[in-house]
A and B are shown apart, each in its own frame.
Chain A
C-alpha cells in the first residue's frame, strides 16, 4: 500500500507540473520579457544538472582534480561538442574519453 501511495503521488505531482500551465494558458498571457527569459531555460537547467554531476560525483564533496574522471570526461565531452557540434559523436566520444581516463587512473599511470 505504501508503494501504491508513493508511485501514485509521484506520478500525480510529476504530471501536474508538466501539464498544469496548459489549461490555464488561455487565461494567462506571457509577457514579451518572460518569453525571452524562457529561451534561457534549456541552457540554464542543463548546466545546473551537469556541473554538480561532474564536480561532485559522490554527492558529498567537491572534487576539482585530474583524479576525478567525471570532471575530466565532462571537460573532454564539452570540447568534442564545441568543436564537432555533433550530438552522437559528442556522447560516444565523451564516454570513450571517460573510460579511457578511468583506465589511466586505475592503472596508476598518473
Chain B
C-alpha cells in the first residue's frame, strides 16, 4: 500500500467523478425522503438520524411507509434486514479486494456500501491491472453520495411544506433512470442478459411477498440464471469471455 498522495487524490476524485451521474439520480430521491418523513410521523431529528447513520435509501423509504401504517420499530428493523440483505452480496463480491485493507478502511467502506457506490466501485476493482489506490476511489464515491444524500434530506425537510405535492412530480423517475444506467455495463453477453431477464421476471412474480422479500428472491434467481447460462455457453463454444 505504498502509494503517494497525488495518486490517492486522483483516485479519490475519479471516484467522485464517476459517481456524479448517479448523484443526479439520487438528488430528487433524497429531497423526497426529507419531504415525506414528517407526514409519516418521523421527527426532523429522526429523519436526519436515518440519513446520517443508516444511509440506505430504499430501506429508509420502506421505513417511512411502515411508520405511516403504524408499524412498531422491531418490525421495521426486521424489514430493513430483508431490504438491505442484497448488500451482503455486494460485500461478498468485493471481498477479494476489501479483505486486504486495514480494519478502519473496511469499516468506513462497509458503512457507505450503497447500490450506487457498489455499482461504480465494482467496475474499478474488477478492471484489469491492479492499482493500489482503488480504496480511495471507493471512498471518493461513498463520501460524495453521503454528503449529497444528507444535504438533500435537509433540503427536503426545510422545503417540505413548500413542496407539499413534490411526490406527484414524478421526480422518483430519476432514481429509476440512474439504476437503468448502472445496468449498461452488463448489457454485453448472454449470461448477463439471462441473469437480468430471470431477475426481472421473478421480481414481478414475487412482488407480493411481504417485507420486500421478492427483491431478494429475484436477485438470487437472477444470479443462478446467469451461472446456468454461463455453463451452457461455455460447453457450446470455447471462446474466451469478454470483460467490458
Which residues of A does B touch, CB under 8 Å? Answer: 2-3, 5-11, 13-15, 17-23, 25-26, 30, 33-56, 62, 69-70, 73-74, 77-78, 81-82, 85, 87-88, 90-92, 94-95, 98-99, 102
Contact = CB atoms under 8 A, between A and B. Distances in A.
B192 A70 contact: no
Given A10-B59, A48-B203, A51-B203, A98 B177 contact: yes
Contacts of B76: 6, 9-10
B176 A18 contact: no
A79 B17 CA distance: 24
Contacts of B50: 7, 10
Interface string B22-58: 1011000000000000000011011001100111101
B195 A98 contact: no
B118 to A, nearest CB: 7
Given A40-B227, A44-B219, A53 B183 contact: no
A34 B89 CA distance: 11
Contact of B178 (A34, A82, A91): A91
Contacts of A46: 115, 119, 179, 182-183, 186
A7 B110 CA distance: 18
A18 B98 CA distance: 12
Contacts of B80: 9-10, 13-14
Contact of B176 (A33, A42, A50): A50
Interface in B141-174: 170, 173-174
Given A14-B59, A14-B87, A53-B176, A91 B181 contact: yes
Chain B binding surface, main DSSP class: helix
A106 B193 CA distance: 34
B113 interface: yes
A62 B73 contact: no
Contacts of B182: 42, 46, 87
The bracket for how many chain B residues form the interface is 35 or more
A40 B103 CA distance: 27
B55 to A, nearest CB: 7
B53 to A, nearest CB: 4
Given A38-B92, A90-B181, A95-B177, A56 B207 contact: yes
Q: Which of A7, A37, A70 lies at the interface centre, i.e. has the most chain B CB atoms within 10 A of its CB?
A: A7
A64 to B, nearest CB: 10
Given A18-B113, A22-B91, A47-B200, A73 B227 contact: no
Given A14-B84, A81-B180, 19 more contacts: A10-B59, A13-B81, A18-B90, A19-B91, A23-B103, A30-B92, A42-B93, A42-B122, A44-B199, A45-B115, A47-B199, A49-B115, A53-B175, A55-B204, A56-B204, A73-B177, A78-B183, A88-B20, A98-B177
B140 interface: no
B184 interface: yes
Contact of B192 (A21, A43, A45, A55): A43
